Amino acid sequence: MADEVKPVPAEQAIVPSGPISQWLSENGFAHDSLEADKNGIEIIKVEPDFLLPIATALYAYGFNYLQFQGGIDLGPGQDLVSVYHLVKVGDNADKPEEVRVKVFLPRENPVVPSVYWIWKTADWQERESYDMFGIIYEGHPNLKRILMPEDWVGWPLRKDYISPDFYELQDAY
């Protein structure tokens, strides 16, 4: 029994670096490689403080299209995640290069820099993540609710959100 091999938890497993992760490492950008998704798209984990330098580098590397930005709640008491799906448009029309960037944020203070100044398409997408998950995008030019009324309390897509019994419109016409 002493020679029994214990399985490594998924979050500690060694994940081989993809080409984008290798390029980032060669250029001195701190990040972690996560397991690719079921479609083989490379996923990179970035600390909030390094998001803007890495996003700028990826833009310079050719990822000129932010296809998607959204939020994920890993569960009550766990982190929130800001996700960015980037695409190189124009290089290879048959199969464009894609990468996902994930930023894990503490539930109590989910603050991350806005990428609006790199990809303008982040504008409403970051506002939606703010509105639904409470992720604060520092530097966003107009970070306010986009789906819920301005006076709404709470973040409806968080897994620990408790829906109010009713909502009364104050200025209904």
Q: What CATH code is carried by the domain that includes residue 14?
A: 3.30.460.80
Q: How far apart are the first and last CA of the chain?
A: 74
Tell me whether residue 14 is in a domain: yes
Q: What is the pLDDT of residue 8?
A: 46
Tell me whether residue 151 is in a domain: no
Number of domains in the chain: 1
Q: Who contacts 79 (Cβ-Cβ below 8 Å, separation ≥6)?
A: 104, 105, 106, 107
Q: What is the pLDDT of residue 151?
A: 87
Tell me whether residue 107 is in a domain: yes
Tell me whether residue 95 is in a domain: yes
Q: What is the pLDDT of residue 94?
A: 75
pLDDT tens per residue, range 87-113:
998 766 678 899 999 999 999 999 999
Tell me whether residue 143 is in a domain: no
Tell me whether residue 150 is in a domain: no
Instruction: Give the ranges where the chain is alpha helix by DSSP (H).
Output: 19-26, 51-61, 122-133
- Domain, as residue range, for 92: 10-138
Q: What is the pLDDT of residue 164?
A: 78
Tell me whether residue 172 is in a domain: no
| 10-residue stretch averages of pLDDT, the chain, 173 residues long | 51 74 94 93 96 97 95 96 94 81 97 97 97 97 93 93 72 53
Tell me whether residue 24 is in a domain: yes
